[in-house]
């Protein structure tokens, strides 16, 4: 077996690159497709988790960023900019460093997880905390990329979705065909659109015999696609998907309609319950936004929308280590003991 080379080299034939494209990679992709025993039991389905938190910077964004930064390099860009709820900025900062570019990031002040902030800073990004929400940040980033020589690497950059579609390829390659249903968190709505593109391409090329129904899930306080109108002051504990006016609105609706799927909402309480279940019963530590896919699947199964025995893939989008505050908040305090076996045994209820 040869080593994994990153999504551009692995799926070069399906991506808009050529011999002149300098491939900027951290060897992203190739993430586990993990059987989820407990979620399968709960839903009566054959459920797998696509564990995207195991990408180089800890989220699925790396798949899109390798493409966006490689193409920016091909076009001679020396600086990139993005708006972010945290993961895009962490990824952009890391890939910009690999490309020898500078990176500017705009994040909503006080509304991104500490680990993500740390990533952008440690990779040397110029970070501005904007007194506004993600939607405001994206508008600013778009304006700056028009007026100044900085390339926009948000998912409105079409190369981002091209890279992100490779996750769907990996799933089909692993399962031998597309699943019946694919569940995914929805924020700015790029990723659901990218998966649909990937599944559709593989079906059109005859690699798979079918396409899955796409089930997208937003947080109930930030559910513009479900409500059918933008949310001016989006709110949710899942800060990664705290977005009121998704850029890929139309593409996400296409994915829903084209696949006979749905876009629904789950409450913060449901998200928290799924987050805890994944950690405590599957051994998978994800960030809150990521748990929306599993919370949504459980809800849809309870509503009778998921035929028993269906093969389901849930993307869990980001790593739990990015935002440990929530894990600590839900856990009891650790006990302190002296260097003494008896005391340790007692504290552990072994004695």
> Of residues 57, 87, 133, 157, which one binds ligand F0G by CB under 6 A?
87
> Of residues 115, 179, 187, 224, which one binds ligand F0G by CB under 6 A?
187
Instruction: Provide, rounded to whole angstroms, the least separation between the CB of residue 156 and ligand F0G.
Output: 11
Q: Using CB under 6 A, which of the segments 17-25, 34-42, 270-278, 286-294 binds ligand F0G?
A: 286-294
Strand partners, 79: 102
> Of residues 88, 157, 162, 166, which one binds ligand F0G by CB under 6 A?
88
Task: Tell me: does residue 186 bind ligand F0G (CB under 6 A).
Answer: yes
Instruction: Provide, rounded to whole angstroms, the least separation between the CB of residue 134 and ligand F0G.
Output: 6
Output 120 or 300, the one with its CB closest to ligand F0G: 120
Q: Which of 171, 176, 175, 193 is nearest to 184 (CA)?
A: 193
Output 21 or 254, the one with its CB closest to ligand F0G: 254
Task: Tell me: does residue 84 bind ligand F0G (CB under 6 A).
Answer: yes
Note whether 231 and 224 are within 8 A (CB): yes
Instruction: Give 77's contacts (C-beta < 8 A, 6+ positions apart).
Output: 101, 149, 150, 151
Phi-psi region at 74: left, alpha or beta (left = phi > 0; alpha = psi -120 to 50): alpha
CA 254, CA 307: separation in Å to the nearest integer?
A: 23
Q: Scanning residues 96 to 135, which ones bind ligand F0G (CB under 6 A)?
A: none
Note whether 23 and 6 are within 8 A (CB): yes
Output 101 or 137, the one with its CB closest to ligand F0G: 137
Task: Tell me: does residue 270 bind ligand F0G (CB under 6 A).
Answer: no
Output 3 or 127, the one with its CB closest to ligand F0G: 127
Residue with tokens 């080299």: 9
Q: Scanning residues 233 to 252, which ones bind ligand F0G (CB under 6 A)?
A: 240-241
Residue with tokens 């990679």: 25
Task: Tell me: does residue 293 bind ligand F0G (CB under 6 A).
Answer: no
Residues in binding contact with ligand F0G, number by CB under 6 A: 22
Q: Compute the radius of gyration of the chain from its Cα atoms.
A: 20
For residues 41 to 60, the per-residue mask of contacts with ligand F0G, x marking binding by CB under 6 A and - elsewhere, is: ------------------x-
> Of residues 66, 85, 222, 236, which one binds ligand F0G by CB under 6 A?
85
CA 96, CA 81: separation in Å to the nearest integer?
A: 10
Note whether 273 and 226 are within 8 A (CB): no
CA 141, CA 320: separation in Å to the nearest integer?
A: 27
Length of the chain: 351
- Which residues here bind ligand F0G, judged by CB under 6 A? 59, 61, 84-88, 155, 185-191, 240-241, 287, 289-290, 317-318
């Amino acid at each position: 077996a040869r080593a994994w080379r990153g999504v551009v080299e692995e799926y070069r034939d399906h991506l808009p690159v050529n011999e002149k494209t300098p491939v900027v990679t951290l060897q992203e992709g190739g993430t586990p497709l993990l059987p989820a025993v407990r979620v399968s039991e709960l839903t009566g389905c054959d459920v797998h988790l696509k564990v995207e938190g195991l990408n180089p910077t800890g989220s699925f964004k790396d798949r899109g960023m390798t493409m966006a930064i490689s193409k920016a390099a091909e076009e001679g860009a020396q600086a990139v900019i993005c708006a972010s709820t945290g993961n895009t900025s962490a990824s952009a900062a890391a890939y910009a460093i690999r490309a020898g570019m500078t990176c500017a990031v705009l994040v909503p002040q006080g509304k991104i997880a500490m680990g993500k902030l740390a990533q952008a800073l440690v990779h040397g990004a110029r970070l501005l905390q904007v007194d506004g929400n993600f939607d405001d940040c994206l508008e600013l980033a778009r304006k700056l990329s028009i007026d100044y020589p900085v390339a926009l690497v948000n998912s409105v950059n079409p190369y981002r979705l091209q890279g992100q579609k490779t996750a769907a390829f990996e799933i089909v390659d692993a399962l031998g065909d597309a699943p019946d249903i694919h569940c995914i968190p929805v924020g700015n709505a790029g990723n659901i659109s990218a998966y649909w593109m990937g599944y559709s391409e593989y079906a059109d090329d005859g690699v798979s015999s079918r396409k899955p129904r796409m089930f997208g899930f937003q947080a109930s306080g930030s559910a513009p696609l479900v409500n059918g109108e933008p949310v001016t002051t989006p709110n949710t504990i899942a800060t990664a998907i705290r977005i009121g006016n998704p850029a890929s609105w139309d593409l996400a609706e296409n994915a829903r309609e084209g696949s006979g799927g749905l876009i629904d909402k789950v409450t913060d309480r449901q998200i928290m319950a799924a987050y805890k279940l994944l950690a405590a019963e599957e051994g998978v530590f994800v960030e809150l936004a990521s748990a929306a896919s599993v919370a949504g699947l459980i809800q849809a199964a309870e509503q009778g929308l998921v035929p028993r025995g269906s093969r389901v893939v849930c993307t869990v989008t980001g790593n739990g280590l990015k935002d440990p505050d929530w894990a600590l908040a839900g856990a009891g305090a650790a006990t302190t003991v002296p260097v003494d076996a008896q005391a340790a045994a007692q504290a552990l209820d072994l004695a």
